[in-house]
Amino acid sequence: MTSSIITQKMIAKSLKDLMETETFHKISVSDIMINCQMRRQTFYYHFQDKYELLGWIYKEETKENITDFIEYEKWENIFNQLFGYFYENQRFYRNAFKVVEQNSFNEYLYEHTKNLYLKIIDELSLGFGISVSEEKKSLLASFYSHGFGGTIKDWIQNACMINPSVMSSLMKTMIHDQLILSLRQSANHKVEKR
């Protein structure tokens, strides 16, 4: 049987629904497949085990919500959307972060937010007429992506107490102001070295 990404999404949704009320460790492959009314065997056409499925959700949903929007949407709107997504899925993620055997969340979120930060740096540096080396861009994007990942995780762990739109706004201002400062300093530094 060939693999279907929509079938994978259906299986993923089933697991996510179950994780709203049950811990990951108590959920079996049979539970997942009964919940989405598919044959148990279908699970194994698409995933080795439930840990692989959890990693797939991290990978697919961070890609679909971040990288796939980079050429379609303003970066400010991508942040809004991303905080909205995590807010809606907070129970799943709080539950999922307890799964020590599958901790690829940081890795995938980092990969895709780094793409987003690279876009932001490009746009801001272009808008302010500042030239930044590729190395510097990568370093800045990496720094902010690690910060973003940690902030998201803390926010989810703390029951998303701060409103997602406030979070998004804070992050946007922080990124904008600090990046401009860093970029200007980088540019000045570059000039001084010459």
Partner 1 sequence: MKTIKNDVQNIVRDMLQGFYFEHKERVYYDSKHHIIYRKDLGDIGQNVVLLSGGGSGHEPAHFGYVGDGMLSIAVSGPIFIPPTPEQILAAIRKADKNKSVLMVVKNFKADVDNFLTAESIALKEGRSVDHILVNDDVSIENDATFNKRRRGVAGTVFVHKIVGAAATEGFSLQKLKEIGSSVVSNLHTLGVALTPANNPTQTETSFTLEDHEVYFGVGIHGEKGYRKETFDSSEKLAIELMNKLKSIYRWKKGDKFAVLINGLGATPLMEQYIFSNDIRRLTQLESIDVRFFKVGSHLTSMDMKGISLSLLKIEDPNWEKWLKADVRVSSW
Residue 81 interacting with partner 1 (CB under 8 A): yes
SS3 assignment, position 193: helix
Q: Does 159 bind partner 1 (CB under 8 A)?
A: no
Q: Is 78 exposed, middle or buried (0-12, 13-18, 19+ CB in 10 A)?
A: buried
* Binding residue (CB under 8 A) for partner 1 from 40, 74, 184, 189: 74
Q: Is 128 in the site for partner 1 (CB under 8 A)?
A: no
Pick between residue 10 and residue 139 the one whose CB is nearest to partner 1.
Answer: 10
Site for partner 1 in 105-124 (CB under 8 A): 123
Q: Tell whether residue 10 is a contact of partner 1 (CB under 8 A).
A: yes
9 near partner 1 (CB under 8 A): yes
C-beta pairs of 91-95 under 8 Å, 24+ apart in sequence: 91/19, 91/20, 92/16, 92/19, 92/20, 93/156, 94/156, 94/157, 94/159, 95/19, 95/20, 95/23, 95/24
Binding residues for partner 1, rule CB under 8 A, total: 17
Q: Kindly indicate which of the ranges 8-16, 48-56, 100-108, 136-144 contains the residues binding partner 1, using the contact rule CB under 8 A.
A: 8-16
Residue 6: how many CB atoms within 10 A of its CB? 7
Question: Do residues 116 and 137 touch, judged by C-beta distance below 8 A?
Answer: no
Q: Which stretch binds partner 1 (CB under 8 A): 20-28, 72-80, 159-167, 184-192?
A: 72-80
Residue 192 in the binding site for partner 1 (CB under 8 A): no
20 near partner 1, judged by CB under 8 A: no
Say if residues 45 and 87 touch (Cβ distance below 8 Å): no
Measured in Å, how far apart are the chain's first and last C-alpha atoms? 62
CB of 134 to partner 1, least distance (A): 20
Pick one of 20, 52, 73, 107: the residue that binds partner 1 (CB under 8 A): 73
- The residue count of the chain comes to 194
* Residue with Cβ nearer partner 1 (85 or 143): 85
Residues 6+ apart with CB under 8 A from 1: 42, 45
| Interface ranges with partner 1 (CB under 8 A) | 4-6, 9-10, 13, 64, 68-69, 71-74, 77, 81, 84, 123
